[in-house]
Structure 1
Amino acid sequence: MQTTPAARRLPLGERLRRGMRSGRLTAIALLLPPALILFTLFVILPLTESGYYAFFDWNGYGQPTDYVGLRNFEQMMGHSAFQTAAGNTLKIVAVSLFLQMPLALLLALMIYRRTPTNALFRLVFFVPYILAEVAAGLIWSFVFDGNYGVTASIAQSLGVDSFFILANRDWAFVAVMTVIVWKYFGFHMMIYIAALQGVSEDLIEAARIEGARRVQIVRYVQVPMIKPAIVVSAFFAIIGALQVFDVIIPLTNGGPSNSTHTIVTYLYTFGLTRLRIGFGSAVGVVLFLVAVLVAVFYQRFAMKRAET
């Protein structure tokens, strides 16, 4: 709630007394310290320690003593697997923005109206998002299995040799991106449905009376009205793409030949599992800085434009 100019001219003591009487200061005093303590313990301290460990060659046992400066960062930037992981992360961002979101918007436009049939379709499309990422990865690893999975059954019914998609460097990451689109498009679809249900039917009816076709109503009425929802959805898509991990590990574990790693799975594989905590911390610092830059840039430009 904004304060009036008269309230801002009140002495500090009077403003504090008013805050105490209204209960706002009491609520702040009770709720803010626990939140700050948890945020400090589980966010600030781990980030600070990661930034410190990134300059050491450390296996996680004892105190880090082997200071190596920027060597961890140099090794990371020169590692071909990291370059592949960074490229894959960018590919997931692109697929999320230019395939997953348009698909979600298309389906939302088809089923946003409140009818029993549309409610059933919304449930069907949203179920993959509810499913745990590890479970989704395991299910699709069976689907793509060339010996016993759905792929093998289709190949057998067609009378062709079975194709091992997850063992092929050219197709494994395509399979990963297919699973990611299937898993998360329902989340964006529900955002769009909620926004579309808030668009006035009077505007749509007025456009119909003026002779606008269905495509024109979508382009000039509905999509502009839900622009803030699209901007928020794009932000979630970008940040989610930077964090993809749980789907890939049970699906491909970064293989074959490190061709399906993202930055997070690269950190896990080459940092944590190999007890190179200092190196993994360096990767984590880079990922954190990228996420912060994306969030600041998006908040500064994209979200402000959506508000205008």
Structure 2
Amino acid sequence: VASYTSLFKWNGFNFPDNYVGLDNYTRALADPVFLGDLRRGAVLIALSVLIQLPVSLALAMLLNQPLRGRALYRLLFFAPYVLSEVTTAVLFTLVFSPNRGLALGGEMFADPDQVIYALFLVISWKYFGFHMILMLAGRQAIPRELTEAATTDGAGPWQTFRHVTLPLLGPTIRVSLFLSVIGTIQLFDMVWVLTGGGPIHSSETMAVTMFQYGFRRFEVGYASAISIAMFLLSLIFALLYQRFVL
């Protein structure tokens, strides 16, 4: 349905009859807001790959050690993932409230140049525990005999991790990467509750832009074109992932 309505200039009422062909797609490619959505999505993906996933991996390795109370730590780190995105957004709205919370956080959400990084902090807080549990499960699936053999051959902790543990964790890390990218493309609830896409579109994602045009401005044809763009990006990434990663 979206692929059909994206070919029309349509406000969502009655039957679409104003056929415009690919005009909605060419409009998206020239729209600075949509292009900004692509850029911000790329920034969030890069931050996830460079910061969130390595931190999750480090915590997984740490909590795989025989630490006192490690089960409690695992529970505490995983707990934010259980919360819905809306609940998380409301929680951080209160935490960063200038009147009742951390003024610095409120300033970051009000700054067009910093809001995307503040948003990343909230996303990381919610999802790092999920990636940590994935990697911890992957680490525990590695036979102990392999790491013991490396140690017997004289390998130190870093060499064992670099040449034994990390390669065997490759499939798990790739799954985390895949989920991070697809989740970023579809990101909506948390952004909408936290910032509404502001200030001045500086925290909008493609899903937020689609919602704005489809349900606020009643430009359903253009919103449908954005939804198709989201689908195509997800499909292309999934195909490339299947072809070159799996």
Task: Note whether the superposition's TM-score is higher than 0.5.
Answer: yes
Q: Look up the match of 1:288.
A: 231
Deviation at 1:205, TM superposition (A): 1.6
Q: 1:166 to 1:281 in 2, by over 3 A?
A: same
Which of 80, 83, 91 lines up with 1:139 in the alignment?
A: 91
- One-letter code of the match for 1:171? Q
Unaligned runs of 5+ in 1: 1-48, 156-161, 304-308
Q: State how 1:125-204 maps to structure 2 within 5 Å.
A: 125-149=77-101, 151-152=102-103, 164-204=107-147
Which of 223, 227, 238 lines up with 2:170 in the alignment?
A: 227
Q: Look up the match of 2:46.
A: 94
Asked if 2 retains the 8 angstrom alpha-carbon contact of 1:108 and 1:192, the reply is yes
- One-letter code of the match for 2:244? F
CA distance in 1, matches of 2:121, 2:149: 39
Asked if 1 retains the 8 angstrom alpha-carbon contact of 2:186 and 2:230, the reply is no
Are positions 1:111 and 2:63 aligned together? yes
Deviation at 1:211, TM superposition (A): 2.2
Are positions 1:55 and 2:55 aligned together? no
CA distance in 2, matches of 1:65, 1:107: 56
Unaligned runs of 5+ in 2: none
Asked if 2 retains the 8 angstrom alpha-carbon contact of 1:93 and 1:242, the reply is no
Deviation at 1:51, TM superposition (A): 0.4
Larger RCO, structures 1/2 (Cα 8 Å, 6+ apart): 2
Asked if 2 retains the 8 angstrom alpha-carbon contact of 1:146 and 1:165, the reply is no
Q: Look up the match of 2:208.
A: 265
Deviation at 1:92, TM superposition (A): 1.3
TM-score (norm 2): 0.95
CA distance in 1, matches of 2:215, 2:4: 16
Which of 82, 88, 91 lines up with 2:34 in the alignment?
A: 82
CA distance in 2, matches of 1:251, 1:146: 14
Deviation at 1:106, TM superposition (A): 0.5
CA distance in 1, matches of 2:106, 2:167: 44
4+ long deviations beyond 6 Å: none
Q: 1:117 to 1:247 in 2, by over 3 A?
A: same
Deviation at 1:290, TM superposition (A): 0.9
- One-letter code of the match for 2:129? G
RMSD over equivalenced CA pairs, Å: 1.6
Deviation at 1:112, TM superposition (A): 2.2
- One-letter code of the match for 2:71? A
